[in-house]
Structure 1
Amino acid sequence: MSEKKAIKVSVAGRIQGVGYRAFVQQKATKLGLKGYIRNSDGSEVEVIAEGAEDSLEELLELLESGPNRAEIEDVNWEWIEHTGDFIRFSINY
């Protein structure tokens, strides 16, 4: 079994009202990742995701493309410490 990793991602752009959070939750769940996505301010969301490194890298690619109507302007991410605190990938409000 591969070592678990974690990332923190900030995504900016036109991502409100286009199903972006639901899109990310669905994709992260399919990839077997745990964590959350939440709004951080009007045009940004924050993602914390934990899981296998290859799945996290795949999620990063999906975060950069988003669902059809999203317009992603900026994606910033960093590796963070894996905590194992999450039981699933959720949308936090």
Structure 2
Amino acid sequence: MSSSRSVHVIIHGRVQGVGFRAWAHHQAQLHGLQGWVRNRRDGRVEAVFAGPGELVEVMLRACWQGPRGASVECIEAVSDPDNPEGAEGEGFQVLPTV
């Protein structure tokens, strides 16, 4: 495995109303990642994925597909991938909408 990596992203497209948060939570847990996911009031989904570099990359690639019904247009990194806010702690959480 590679060294640890964290990434804070905003996912654009048809990503709300399709179970994206629950799907991301499940996928992150399957890969043993830490972090969180939440909806934003503007229709986007925001997430932090942290863990072994290869598994974070697998998660990011999976996010381009998302759950059935999702249509991802863009995944935007919004902070320094080596130090995103909110990646501390253990496990993966679904946070309230902001």
Q: TM-score, normalised by structure 1?
A: 0.89
Contact kept in structure 2, 1:25 and 1:89, CA below 8 Å: yes
1:52-80 residue CA offsets vs partner (Å, 9 max, x unmatched): 00000000011111011011111112513
Residue identity (%): 29
**Deviation larger for 20-29 or 74-83:** 74-83
2:16 is aligned with 1:13? no
Is the strand fraction higher in 1 or 2?
1
Contact kept in structure 2, 1:34 and 1:50, CA below 8 Å: yes
Q: TM-score, normalised by structure 2?
A: 0.85
Residue in structure 2 matched with residue 24 of structure 1 by the alignment: 24
Residue in structure 2 matched with residue 50 of structure 1 by the alignment: 50
Unaligned runs of 5+ residues in structure 2 are none
Quick one: which amino acid aligns to residue 48 of structure 1? V
1:19-48 residue CA offsets vs partner (Å, 9 max, x unmatched): 100000100110110000011233211111
Contact kept in structure 1, 2:35 and 2:87, CA below 8 Å: no
- The Cα of 1:3 is off from its aligned counterpart by 2.2
- The Cα of 1:86 is off from its aligned counterpart by 2.0
**Mapped partners of 1:26, 1:81: distance in 2:** 23
Query: Which ranges of 4 or more aligned residues in structure 1 deviate by more than 3 Å?
Result: none
**Mapped partners of 1:38, 1:71: distance in 2:** 17
RMSD: 1.8
2:64 is aligned with 1:64? yes
